[in-house]
């Protein structure tokens, strides 16, 4: 994966932060894209856990998102498997290391939280990996949906387990017919 992390912590103290946002439709519902100083810093689904307050998203302005929207459209069309976008990921060093590992999970594959912890040289830190995974500010682009429980079961996803299941099925080449409403 060649997504470039542009660390938000490299900003000089006292420097003004300019945020912009836009909302785009996707097969998984509306996505709110947020840019910090022109660099993608957030991708939030409707009703997503850990979604920041809307007033922090800045002014509506689609201009910073042309390339991100193009790549998301290609991904949802099944034509793109790897994103190539600069990102401004604001998190702790551990969170950023987890997010970097997420980007190395190939399209259509999954890893467990424990496997990621071992890869990071922190065996036994699967819960910490899970917490960092849940705070990922750019889901789909940094593919946190590709992380599963040790038993192979679906566990936790900020966008909801239904979306996680649908994204994984989509990437494995299965059909995505939308949410299962049989329980409602």
Query: Which residue of the set 144, 147, 148, 167 is catalytic?
Result: 144
Residue among 18, 4, 118 at smallest CA distance from 64: 18
Contact 61, 21 (CB under 8 A): yes
d(CA 119, CA 58): 36
Q: Are 146 and 104 in contact (CB under 8 A)?
A: no
Residue 129, class by beta-carbon neighbours within 10 Å (0-12 exposed, 13-18 middle, 19+ buried)? buried
144 is catalytic: yes
The residue to which tokens 């329980």 are assigned: 183
> Which residues participate in catalysis according to the annotation?
144
């Amino acid at each position: 994966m060649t997504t470039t992390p542009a660390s938000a912590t490299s900003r000089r103290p006292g420097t003004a932060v300019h945020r912009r946002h836009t909302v785009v439709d996707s097969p998984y519902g509306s996505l709110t894209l947020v840019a910090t100083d022109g660099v993608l810093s957030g991708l939030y689904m409707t009703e997503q856990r850990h979604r920041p307050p809307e007033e922090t998203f800045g002014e509506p302005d689609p201009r910073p998102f042309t390339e991100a929207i193009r790549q998301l459209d290609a991904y949802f069309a099944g034509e793109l498997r790897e994103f190539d976008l600069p990102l401004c990921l604001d998190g702790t060093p551990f969170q950023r290391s987890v997010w970097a590992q997420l980007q190395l999970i190939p399209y259509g594959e999954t890893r467990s939280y424990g496997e990621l912890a071992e890869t990071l040289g922190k065996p036994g830190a699967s819960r910490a990996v899970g917490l960092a995974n849940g705070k990922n500010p750019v889901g789909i682009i940094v593919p946190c949906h590709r992380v599963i429980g040790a038993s192979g079961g679906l566990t936790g996803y900020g966008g909801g387990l239904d979306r996680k299941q649908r994204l994984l099925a989509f990437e494995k080449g299965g059909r995505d017919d939308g949410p299962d409403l049989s329980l409602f």
